[in-house]
Chains A and B, each alone.
Chain A
Amino acid sequence: MDFFVQQIAAGLTSGAIYACVALGLVMIYVSTDHINFAQGEMAMFATYLAWAMIDAGLPYWIAFGLTVAVAFAGGLFIQRVVLKPLENAPVLALVVCFIALLSIFNALAGMIWSYTIKQFPSPFPARDVFGNGLVSVQQLGVVAVTLVMLGLLTVFFRYTTLGLAMRAAAQNATSARLMGVRVSWMLALGWGLAAAIGAIAGMLVAPIVFLDPNMMTGILVYGFAGALVGGIGNPLGAVAGGFIVGVLENLVGSYVIGNELKLTFALIVVVGVLLLKPAGIFGRVIVKRV
């Protein structure tokens, strides 16, 4: 029983991280209809920035805040400089562009910080919450950060006019323009948010898996699975999907197929969802009258 609870707790922790990655993917998907394959590498690169700041002597939370801000600006910058010129380009060109970004960030990180594994500090102590070895403060902290972030995003999208403008721009760009919304800036904002969320995911996962340029590769697949399970157009669903994938992955890994095949499980989930329920569990079907 203890083992089972431990597995659930560990699953929720990794689930929280997948949820962050999924959220970043959803953020860009809803505003531009694209899947950003570089989401993971952007997060990894931001985590290196945080590492460099902490290494230079900055306190953890200041480095955390600065990294999120820099990532946001970076996401904005990438959209304005790299993607805006491709506004009318075919989807394939964009896919190639995302893959290029992926390998550029990967190589850049390796070049600047080398490929040797680095330790990344955690702001949360590793000790137990209840003193019985089941749930650690670290695990609880990771889940809490994810939930807080989801809360903030929900408030932003539901209750602010800027959030509303972003949703409108994503849904019907022409019509949004006719309401005075600067659509192309809304897309840039979406990229900024996605990059910031990714940075948080990177900083949460780095203490667990250690920091190296390839740390997000597998996690991106899980995040993608999470986003699909929840419904790729739905932030709340993406987070739920992330948690579901995290827990399932852990249980299936420890009871059924073993740790080596866990990533395969994620891919099976991806294919399964696409085949059986493409809108995801929480995907909303939008009623449209013509």
Chain B
Amino acid sequence: MSALLQVKGMSAWYGAIRALYELDLSIEKGGVTALLGANGAGKTTTLRAICNMIRRSGSTVLDGTDITRRSTEDIVRMGVAHVPEGRGTFVALTVEENLKLAFHIRRDHAEARRDMELVFEYFPRLKERIRQQAGTLSGGEQQMLAIARALMIRPRLMLLDEPSFGLAPLVVQEIFRILRRINAEEHVSMLIVEQNAALALDLADHVYLLETGSVVTSGPSAMVQNDETLRKAYLGY
């Protein structure tokens, strides 16, 4: 397997405050990589930095193309879908319009329409609510909508920022089951940020552990799962 996304020496700042220190990341094609760590470790920042949403340095290469200087919009158009913290719902648009937004950047509308059917197969609940104002959806449904929107742009890589945040355990299970299917069936690689480490380790095949803006350790999920000291020190279980 070759690396889909290669991040080298990435630092990032919020104003004058430095949030990341020379981060190196390598995301395998077709795999699921988890980014774990305590609050404030820089997980969300890493995702934002990859998409060029904040000031950052270092280099980012997507499948052989240098995307370091590309704008957020361009990076998205190149197939990096970011499911943001807080879900980013367009509350006044209908569910359908939320999804159709992807038509704006897609050339082949016939294919996009087929993708919309596919998305509804993964999330039948969204189809039931297709004409509803997206702001009236429950938290779980909005998370599904956020993932569905990301799927609509036909991503190569999906960046997921705490998909379990604020949701009931059953809904979380459902969403993670669907994510696993999307990864397997649509061959979408994923980089997932999670507070719920056990859940993420279960889904991911590779893990990066972050602490105060630097990578502490990385390796296969099993390695972290089996290392009690590591788990206790950084993941709290």
Contacts and interface: CB of A to CB of B under 8 A. Distances in A.
A223 B136 CA distance: 33
Interface residues of A, number: 23
Interface in A182-201: 182-183
A112 interface: no
B212 interface: no
Given A167-B93, A168-B90, A175-B90, A162 B104 contact: yes
Interface stretch (B69-77, B178-186, B222-230): B69-77
Contacts of B149: 179
Contacts of B89: 172, 175
B93 A171 contact: yes
Nearest to A172: B90
A287 B133 contact: yes
Contacts, number: 86
Nearest to A178: B82
A174 interface: yes
Chain B residues touching A, range: 20 to 34
Contact of B88 (A161, A167, A178, A286): A178
A179 B91 contact: no
B88 A165 contact: no
Contacts of A177: 53, 72-73, 76
B47 to A, nearest CB: 10
A145 to B, nearest CB: 29
A283 to B, nearest CB: 12
Contact of B101 (A165, A174, A182, A287): A165
B130 to A, nearest CB: 15
B84 A179 contact: no
A287 B142 CA distance: 14
Contact of B104 (A165, A286, A287): A165
A131 interface: no
Interface string B139-156: 100100000010001000
B91 to A, nearest CB: 5
Nearest to A182: B73
Interface string B87-130: 01111110001001111110000000000000000000000000
Interface in A131-188: 161-162, 164-165, 167-168, 171-172, 174-183
B190 to A, nearest CB: 16
B51 A178 contact: yes
Contact of A289 (B81, B90, B105, B137): B137
Nearest to A163: B104
Contacts of B153: 179-180
B88 A287 contact: no
Contacts of B51: 178
A174 B88 contact: yes
B138 interface: yes
B93 A168 contact: yes
B30 to A, nearest CB: 23
B88 to A, nearest CB: 3
A287 B91 contact: yes
A181 B97 CA distance: 14
B91 A288 contact: yes
Contacts of B84: 174-175, 178
Interface string A14-33: 00000000000000000000
A185 to B, nearest CB: 9
A64 to B, nearest CB: 30
B92 A171 contact: yes
A164 B72 contact: no
Nearest to A162: B104
Nearest to A177: B72
Contact of A179 (B53, B92, B105): B105
B220 interface: no
B135 interface: yes
B89 to A, nearest CB: 7
Contacts of A165: 101, 104
B107 to A, nearest CB: 11
Nearest to B146: A175
Contacts of A180: 73, 76-77, 102, 104-105, 153
B42 to A, nearest CB: 19
15 contacts: A164-B103, A165-B101, A171-B90, A174-B53, A175-B88, A175-B89, A177-B53, A177-B76, A178-B51, A178-B88, A179-B104, A179-B105, A180-B153, A286-B91, A287-B133
Interface of B: 51, 53, 72-73, 76-77, 81-82, 84, 88-93, 97, 100-105, 133, 135-139, 142, 149, 153
Closest 8 CB pairs of A and B: A175-B88, A180-B105, A180-B76, A165-B104, A161-B103, A161-B104, A180-B77, A286-B92
Given A161-B100, A175-B88, A175-B90, 10 more contacts: A164-B101, A172-B91, A174-B88, A178-B81, A178-B82, A179-B76, A180-B77, A180-B105, A287-B136, A289-B136
